[in-house]
A and B are shown apart, each in its own frame.
Chain A
């Protein structure tokens, strides 16, 4: 039996029909905030909270997770191990029941990000081929009932793939290749002077459609988000000097090349060369970006470039769009909601537990 074998845990196989009430049920309730979180003792959890503070579940998991891939129609989500984790966790979002622990195959580990396709039949996960450290792989998994089964893999056409997303056609994947080689069980870069980061578009069969790069070799494209019109925004982590002028936010408008998004020196320097999470509000044409080392949360208008918010938010982490703006979490302080429809952005403290939220959050 191969190591890739999937370890099913508890819970009988529910059919899609049994989960059919989910869409109706969730539309009536407050959004469910999903994130990886730790406790004060360093134990790891996959958690779900309603935005009003009610805990839906808190499920202990063995490895620290990073991002969450939510199913488009069923109450399922995959909490994905951050690098160099080898387990991801499929949960029932109604009660947090752990349905399946997915072990990465031999010579592969997760990079913290994955996503379901539009129909929810397939899941794509960024992974490292540790037999050729850093070679980017996209693991392809098929959902059978409530179990994910590894089907095949694609090349990410780059090194150290991190976040990935769908273009609006639902058929084209965009992948941020961070450009950093790391070995199994390690987070230490092997190629700090020879990084090779890229933003690639590929179709579902893995065919490379385009590849963009930024000017500075040490500028690692890590996170990205896609607007409904196909505009891609990327957030970088620059591995060079703290004082170097590196664009930490970039934009690829439809049919254009990836280029730096104009950020003033005051905001750029405040980021301390490290951005965590980026989100777009397609209707309001806004970009939100968290910079945990600089303890700042920013919001810009993505068309005019106007800075709408530059706020102190200690160790700010995950950001996601809501109907009226964004929510943001923090590694050491409280979570906040931002109402962005008015002339000025209004902040509201959320009644959620403070601190120890990982870098990404999703709303289901």
Chain B
């Protein structure tokens, strides 16, 4: 008599398990939120926290300039890794401008910092918050640590720049903390990418669309960050000082960090990224995108010097151009083919308005 009941219970539990198993889009959205996006924002918050300690230590004389530069590069790299992961609070209120100001065609960073300090030699956190985004971020911090005209190992330079340096670091810490808290909050962006419907996403497909938009938009910016110094927009005339991190020489490392994140969105940490949503008939496209990542990374690995150094080295312009071509191909595959395969409208007017 117990046997039928047992089978019924077994069938019921199997049914419940089937019902509760997330659909592929929910699984991917959830996995990318918790395993790719959130850890990257956490890493950025940690690096921004360390930047405040580093700024204080440099100004107190307990570390040297090279140590302070390492902390900045760590924060820059953590930020560059977020390029294809721009989702949530970071996209609101010009927060990304507050971290990086690019392109800086007219050296606004340098000019505005000097003008600010001429007017107010000891800016407070409140002063910095009121100031332009141009002087609030890592671009400004990079200017203070790397500009050839400033030597922060010298006492006179410290007297002029240390107050601002420490306030920028503090501003970055507060900003990164605020953004990361939104990833952690019970009703924050990560949660909204995991449970549907959420205030932001009616269903998992809407979340997948937003994740892909972030990735494609990041690839587009990375392309521009390489293309601008290469002169893609200026009839081929190289403009090395238009690179995003020309002072620290980290432009190509930044590109590598962004590319690694884009690839993680594609593959996932455990083969549960956007790639896993393609069905068997779409495997040729999956292989094409795999190959495009491999080609771009391989080309990038061949370029072992900083972008600025490469411009003055013989014969490397062609290699940089080849890297741009591969990056362009990678971007187009996502923007056109992957978006179509996943049935995602990337943008209508924003991408092709009038």
Tell me whether A295 is interfacial, beta carbon within 8 Å.
yes
Q: Which residue of A lies closest to B347 (CB)?
A: A315
Contact between A315 and B350, CB atoms less than 8 A apart: yes
Contact between B108 and A66, CB atoms less than 8 A apart: no
Interface residues in B72-111 (C-beta closer than 8 Å to A): 91-94, 97, 101-105, 108
Tell me whether B133 is interfacial, beta carbon within 8 Å.
yes
Interface residues in B95-152 (C-beta closer than 8 Å to A): 97, 101-105, 108, 132-133
Q: Which residue of A lies closest to B346 (CB)?
A: A332
Contact between B345 and A40, CB atoms less than 8 A apart: yes
Task: Write out the residue numbers on chain A whose beta carbons fall within 8 Å of the beta carbon of B67.
Answer: none
Most buried by A among B108, B133, B349, B353: B349
Task: Write out the residue numbers on chain B whose beta carbons fall within 8 Å of the beta carbon of A350.
Answer: none
Partner of B354, one of A112, A241, A332, A357: A112
Task: Write out the residue numbers on chain A whose beta carbons fall within 8 Å of the beta carbon of B105.
Answer: 241, 243-244
Interface residues of A (CB under 8 A from B): 38, 40, 66, 82-83, 112, 162, 222, 241-244, 265-266, 269-270, 274, 276, 292-293, 295, 312, 315-317, 331-332, 355-359
Contact between B102 and A295, CB atoms less than 8 A apart: no
Task: Write out the residue numbers on chain B whose beta carbons fall within 8 Å of the beta carbon of A358.
Answer: 348-349
Tell me whether B301 is interfacial, beta carbon within 8 Å.
no
- Measured in the bound complex, the distance between the Cα atoms of B108 and A317 in whole Å is 32
Task: Write out the residue numbers on chain B whose beta carbons fall within 8 Å of the beta carbon of A356.
Answer: 345, 348
Tell me whether B64 is interfacial, beta carbon within 8 Å.
no
Tell me whether B343 is interfacial, beta carbon within 8 Å.
yes
Partner of A295, one of B94, B108, B348, B350: B350
Known: A66-B354, A241-B105, A292-B350. A265 touches B92 (CB 8 A): no
Task: Write out the residue numbers on chain A whose beta carbons fall within 8 Å of the beta carbon of B104.
Answer: 243
12 contacts between A and B (CB under 8 A): A162-B354, A241-B105, A243-B103, A243-B108, A269-B94, A270-B93, A276-B349, A312-B92, A331-B347, A331-B350, A332-B345, A359-B354
Total count of chain B residues near the partner, CB < 8 A: 22
Q: Is chain B's binding surface mostly helix, strand, loop or mixed?
A: loop
Task: Write out the residue numbers on chain B whose beta carbons fall within 8 Å of the beta carbon of A241.
Answer: 103, 105
- Measured in the bound complex, the distance between the Cα atoms of B94 and A331 in whole Å is 22
- Measured in the bound complex, the distance between the Cα atoms of B92 and A246 in whole Å is 20
Known: A40-B343, A356-B348. A243 touches B101 (CB 8 A): yes
Known: A40-B345, A241-B105, A243-B104. A270 touches B94 (CB 8 A): yes
Most buried by A among B92, B132, B350: B350
B113 to chain A, nearest CB (A): 15
Contact between A265 and B347, CB atoms less than 8 A apart: no
- Measured in the bound complex, the distance between the Cα atoms of B349 and A265 in whole Å is 23
A38 to chain B, nearest CB (A): 7
Task: Write out the residue numbers on chain B whose beta carbons fall within 8 Å of the beta carbon of A295.
Answer: 91, 350
- Measured in the bound complex, the distance between the Cα atoms of B34 and A140 in whole Å is 59
Contact between B348 and A38, CB atoms less than 8 A apart: yes
Q: Which residue of B lies closest to A67 (CB)?
A: B354
Q: Which residue of A lies closest to B131 (CB)?
A: A265
- Measured in the bound complex, the distance between the Cα atoms of B354 and A274 in whole Å is 10
- Measured in the bound complex, the distance between the Cα atoms of B84 and A241 in whole Å is 21
Contact between A355 and B93, CB atoms less than 8 A apart: no
Task: Write out the residue numbers on chain B whose beta carbons fall within 8 Å of the beta carbon of A331.
Answer: 345, 347-350, 353
